[in-house]
Amino acid sequence: GENVEQHPSTLSVQEGDSAVIKCTYSDSASNYFPWYKQELGKRPQLIIDIRSNVGEKKDQRIAVTLNKTAKHFSLHITETQPEDSAVYFCAALYNFNKFYFGSGTKLNVKP
């Protein structure tokens, strides 16, 4: 299967600063990479995704970049707010059907 690694495991930033979370994947055939935000005890919520034929995608304060050659993709959050505090997971679609998740990053935005 696919192996997805995610860094850092915890990230603390000051409100208004940017946050960057990075993931790498092992299977070059993976072609779809979503990012999820999960608050304690709740379901993961899709916040942004990127397909393999695109290098970057932006949605307001959130952006994702993908480097297929290096097999890594990153989540960028600008102008962070306290409500951005949560655990973020990256994922990669393997074999067109299965998603494998990174280990998660706990983001703490300090007011």
Partner 1 sequence: GAVVSQHPSRVICKSGTSVKIECRSLDFQATTMFWYRQFPKQSLMLMATSNEGSKATYEQGVEKDKFLINHASLTLSTLTVTSAHPEDSSFYICSARDLRGGASGNQPQHFGDGTRLSIL
Write down the least CB distance from residue 19 to partner 1, Å.
19
Is 104 a residue that touches partner 1 (CB under 8 A)? yes
| DSSP 8-state code for residue 96 | T
DSSP track, 27-85: -TT--EEEEEEE-TTS--EEEEEEETT-SEEEETTEEEEEETTTTEEEEEE-S--GGG-
Is 97 a residue that touches partner 1 (CB under 8 A)? yes
Is 49 a residue that touches partner 1 (CB under 8 A)? yes
Distance CA 99, CA 88 (A): 15
Is 99 a residue that touches partner 1 (CB under 8 A)? yes
Whether residue 98 contacts residue 1, with contact meaning beta carbons closer than 8 Å, is answered with: yes
Write down the least CB distance from residue 5 to partner 1, Å.
11
Is 66 a residue that touches partner 1 (CB under 8 A)? no
Size of the site for partner 1 (CB under 8 A): 24
Q: Which residues bind partner 1 (CB under 8 A)?
A: 1, 31-32, 34, 41-46, 49, 51, 89, 93, 96-104, 106
